[in-house]
Amino acid sequence: MFDPNCVRFFDTTLRDGEQAAGVNLNVAEKLQIAKQLEKTRVDVIEAGFPAASPGDFNCVQAISRELRRTTVCGLARTREGDIRAAAQALAQAENPRLHVFIATSPIHMEYKLRLTQEEVLAEIRSGVSLARSLVSEVEFSGEDASRSDLEFLIKAFKVAVDCGATILNIPDTVGYATPEEFYQFCRTVILGVAPPEGVIFSVHAHNDLGLAAANSLAAVRAGVRQVEGTINGMGERGGNSAIEEVVMALKTRADYYGVTVNLDTRRLFPVSRLVARLSGVAVPPNKPVVGSNAFAHEAGIHQHGVMAKRETYEIMKAEDVGCIPAVMVLGKHSGSHAFRARLEFLGYHLDDASVAKAFEIFKKLCDEKKEATDGDIEAIIADEIFSVTPEFHYELKEYTVQVGSGLATAAVVLYRDNKELKDAATGNGPVDAAYRAIMRVINIEPKLESFKITATSERSDALGEALVIISYQGLKAQGRGASTDVIKASVKAYINAVNRLYSLAAVREIKLNGNGCPKADES
């Protein structure tokens, strides 16, 4: 039932969010995030841009098959090929939506599209009509709307409505708008288009000036009833509007905004943690709503105030965004039921085989360190369940490192296709030496773009979690690895990144050339 007072949330973490530099999620990871977003009750999930790559197509198709309640959306330009690919990928969705876009600003039309206004209108006519003939719900976006000529944008939206679009999106593509101005802009567009009942306006704000949430809220005040954004504000450049910020502003200041939302805010913390872990983009501690310090009070005067009356310094309750301290730590004697229940509490949806595999690894870990924290369990899942790349698989069998004064030596043994491959190298430290040895085994030399190690908790027996990004032949891949031994975590992360690099190359049909590294020994 159409409720004109309800603000819907459109999550594009898996499409626009994934465009963030260095982020590359595989199908299993995207599916896990999509399931958790469904549980969070976002209204729409933009699962990808099916014409962009076979990998994107497969993700949209897999998510369409799996989700039964949330609307699944696929992005397309106005081109026929894009629209047919998106419709095909969405074919099995219970509630599909096709999102058609074309730029409407003078700068984009002249320099990027090389199209006149009339030609852009013709593209909208043909694209939206075709989309509507294939899928029951169509959204239209005028890319760079905030820098478009108002009169032309209104004309473009009217054409889209005439051809069957029922959601009209106003993107601030380059994060250029300011709240007061954007309020007026959206108001003028809404009044100018004056669409029939059932058609809603949407906003899609980027955060280049740190104004994405403020602009989204200004648009809601102007009458917009769908907000697009990503979890943790993930996205390219300054990112997208952070869903958790906008929804909590609407809820906390319901007295001012006077709108309702469907989203279950108690799922915000778990979904934020999942996205951060799987994407490798950490949440800053001072991030509103989901940062680790969002509910921490350091100053004595604040602590005193909060103890006397929470509302003195807290405008939201930690439990309302799902920020609940761990109630139990699992250990050696915990059974599979407790383990499964903890996974569910953390928001994971795994099949029986994956739970059994994770439980076995958890048990081994408890032999090493007695107890496992939530962070340890999440690292196990990310490392051992989602990181597995079926298309191409190097596996670590063993490694050794020796560190002397100034020089380290490493030897690695990997498996591939049941064959053992081994090699050794020297380097500036144990990780450098191990990576050089791996490069000799794989016979390519990817560039290491980034290397980070974090601990899964504050405890000294925490797992070390390594995250690396490598690049080779224009492709970028990230890899994760977790272990109580940080060198092992680093080695696993590098191998994982190499596997993902090969998967990506396979999907994009790119052959990775060996670059003349001496071949490893095979035995």
Strand, helix or coil for residue 202? strand
Q: Which of 17, 48, 171, 322 binds ligand KIV (CB under 6 A)?
A: 171
- Name the β-bridge partners of 240: 206
- Give least dist CB 168 to ligand KIV, A: 11
- Give least dist CB 72 to ligand KIV, A: 16
Torsion 510-512-513-515 (CA) sign = positive
483 binds, among Zn ion, ligand KIV, none (CB under 5 to 8 A by kind): none
- Give least dist CB 494 to ligand KIV, A: 32
In 170-260, where does DSSP find H-type helix?
Answer: 179-193, 212-222, 243-252, 254-257
- Give least dist CB 127 to ligand KIV, A: 13
Is there a contact between 375 and 456 (Cβ–Cβ < 8 Å)? yes
Strand, helix or coil for residue 419? strand
- Name the β-bridge partners of 311: none
476 binds, among Zn ion, ligand KIV, none (CB under 5 to 8 A by kind): none
Comparing CA positions, the residue from 425, 433, 437, 510 lying closest to residue 471 is: 510
Q: Which of 141, 207, 215, 499 binds ligand KIV (CB under 6 A)?
A: 141
Comparing CA positions, the residue from 181, 167, 259, 244 lying closest to residue 213 is: 244
Q: Which of 26, 61, 64, 173 binds ligand KIV (CB under 6 A)?
A: 173
Is there a contact between 330 and 377 (Cβ–Cβ < 8 Å)? yes
State how far the Cα of 516 lies from the Cα of 443, in Å rounded to an integer: 7
Rounded to the nearest 5°, which phi and psi values hold at 67?
-85, 140
Q: Interface residues for ligand KIV in 187-216 (CB under 6 A)?
A: 204, 206
* Closer Cβ to Zn ion, 169 or 373, answer by number: 169
HSE-up of 207 (CA within 13 Å, CB side)? 23
For 51, which DSSP code?
T
* Closer Cβ to Zn ion, 42 or 512, answer by number: 42
478 binds, among Zn ion, ligand KIV, none (CB under 5 to 8 A by kind): none
Residue 16 as a binder of Zn ion (CB under 5 A): the answer is yes
480 binds, among ligand KIV, Zn ion, none (CB under 5 to 8 A by kind): none
Strand, helix or coil for residue 515? coil
Q: Interface residues for ligand KIV in 350-389 (CB under 6 A)?
A: none
* Closer Cβ to Zn ion, 18 or 378, answer by number: 18
**How many chain residues interact with ligand KIV (CB under 6 A)?**
9
Residue nearest to Zn ion (CB): 16
Of 168-176, 324-332, 379-387, 409-417: span binding ligand KIV (CB under 6 A): 168-176
Comparing CA positions, the residue from 165, 149, 155 lying closest to residue 78 is: 165
- Name the β-bridge partners of 73: 46, 97
Pattern of binders to Zn ion over 479-498, x per CB under 5 A? --------------------
State how far the Cα of 48 lies from the Cα of 507, in Å rounded to an integer: 15
Q: Which of 16, 18, 38, 137 binds ligand KIV (CB under 6 A)?
A: 16
141 binds, among ligand KIV, Zn ion, none (CB under 5 to 8 A by kind): ligand KIV
* Closer Cβ to Zn ion, 168 or 413, answer by number: 168
Number of neighbouring beta carbons within 10 Å of residue 155: 18
Give helix 150-162 / helix 117-134 axis angle, nearest 10°: 30
- Give least dist CB 54 to ligand KIV, A: 20
- Name the β-bridge partners of 330: 372
Q: Interface residues for Zn ion in 285-344 (CB under 5 A)?
A: none
Residue 18 as a binder of Zn ion (CB under 5 A): the answer is no
Q: Which two tokens stand for residue 66?
A: 């799996």
Residue 139 as a binder of Zn ion (CB under 5 A): the answer is no
Q: Rg for the chain (alpha carbons), in Å?
A: 25
Of 13-21, 214-222, 431-439, 484-492: span binding Zn ion (CB under 5 A): 13-21
Of 36-44, 165-173, 175-183, 469-477: span binding ligand KIV (CB under 6 A): 165-173
- Give least dist CB 172 to ligand KIV, A: 8
Strand, helix or coil for residue 119? helix
Q: Interface residues for Zn ion in 398-417 (CB under 5 A)?
A: none
First to last CA, the chain: 66
- Give least dist CB 171 to ligand KIV, A: 3
147 binds, among ligand KIV, Zn ion, none (CB under 5 to 8 A by kind): none
Is there a contact between 13 and 33 (Cβ–Cβ < 8 Å)? yes
Q: Which of 11, 82, 123, 143 binds ligand KIV (CB under 6 A)?
A: 143
State how far the Cα of 281 lies from the Cα of 273, in Å rounded to an integer: 10
Residues 6+ apart with CB under 8 A from 460: none
**How many chain residues interact with Zn ion (CB under 5 A)?**
1
- Give least dist CB 28 to ligand KIV, A: 25
Q: Where along the sequence are the contacts to Zn ion (CB under 5 A)?
A: 16
**For binding to ligand KIV (CB under 6 A), which residues are involved?**
16, 101, 141, 143, 169, 171, 173, 204, 206
